[in-house]
């Protein structure tokens, strides 16, 4: 839709070559290699899954063709090279951004973390914790839970108890 709208109003015209990798990293790598070999291709939008990007981004980087992944979220994608762009922030960036928001916007400097133990929750929580500490904040407690857990009573009680233990003034 955007390309059609652009082509009605602006120059140069944009032509899209849409391909399906079938969520197969080797297929994505073959398609990126083929596209990079075409002198008319000025950039690649995709692949959309992180494992496909890791399999193919090195090819685009080596050939100097910009590759923009709109949805991949794995850590390290943008670090592949100067021609590789990640439009969706990775998990570490999300955790750091949440920590900065809590510290700078909400003005909270003493925090606790409750997170799933599995990725991506753990990756986000670990980055959050690291950023809070780097910015001089205090993490009162960290509690993990398994995916699908519905009763977090024990984790919340433990967090509350540790927060009360750290308080300068007793709370009732």
Express each pLDDT in 100-139 by its tens digit.
Answer: 999 999 999 999 999 999 999 999 999 999 999 999 999 9
On the question of pLDDT at 67 being above 70, the answer is yes
On the question of pLDDT at 41 being above 60, the answer is yes
Which of 170 and 21 is assigned the larger pLDDT? Answer: 21
Query: Which whole number is the average pLDDT over 156-165?
Result: 93
Residue with tokens 């929750």: 121
Distances 93 to 90, 100, 118 between C-alpha atoms, Å: 5, 11, 17
Residue-wise burial string across 89-118, b where 16 or more C-beta atoms lie within 10 A, e elsewhere? ebbbbbbbebbbebbeeeeeeebbbbbbee
Residue 27 CA to residue 38 CA, distance in Å, equals 17
On the question of pLDDT at 15 being above 70, the answer is yes
Residue 58 CA to residue 135 CA, distance in Å, equals 34
* E strands, the chain, in order: 44-45, 67-69, 84-86, 110-116, 138-145
Query: Which whole number is the average pLDDT over 63-84?
Result: 96
Kindly indicate the confidence band of residue 167, based on its pLDDT and cuts at 50, 70 and 90.
confident
Q: What is the model's pLDDT at position 150? A: 95
Q: What is the model's pLDDT at position 170? A: 54
Burial-class residue 17 by CB neighbours within 10 Å (0-12, 13-18, 19+): exposed
Query: Which whole number is the average pLDDT over 86-91?
Result: 94
Q: What is the model's pLDDT at position 166? A: 85
Kindly indicate the confidence band of residue 172, based on its pLDDT and cuts at 50, 70 and 90.
very low
On the question of pLDDT at 152 being above 80, the answer is yes
Contact assessment for residue 117 and residue 124, using Cβ atoms and an 8 Å cutoff: no
| Percent of the chain whose predicted confidence (pLDDT) is above 70 | 97
Q: What is the model's pLDDT at position 79? A: 95
């Amino acid at each position: 839709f955007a390309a059609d709208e652009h082509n009605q109003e602006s120059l140069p015209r944009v032509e899209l070559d849409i391909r399906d990798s079938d969520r197969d990293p080797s297929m994505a790598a073959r398609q990126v290699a083929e596209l990079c070999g075409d002198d008319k291709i000025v950039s690649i939008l995709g692949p959309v899954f992180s494992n496909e990007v890791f399999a193919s981004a090195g090819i685009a980087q080596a050939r100097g063709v910009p590759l923009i992944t709109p949805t991949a979220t794995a850590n390290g994608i943008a670090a592949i090279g100067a021609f590789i762009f990640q439009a969706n922030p990775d998990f570490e960036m999300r955790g750091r951004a949440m920590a900065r928001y809590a510290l700078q916007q909400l003005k909270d400097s003493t925090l606790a973390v409750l997170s799933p133990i599995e990725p991506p929750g753990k990756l986000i929580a670990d980055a959050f914790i690291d950023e809070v500490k780097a910015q001089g904040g205090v993490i009162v407690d960290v509690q993990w839970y398994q995916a699908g857990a519905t009763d977090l009573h024990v984790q919340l009680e433990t967090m509350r108890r540790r927060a009360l233990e750290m308080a300068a003034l007793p709370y009732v």
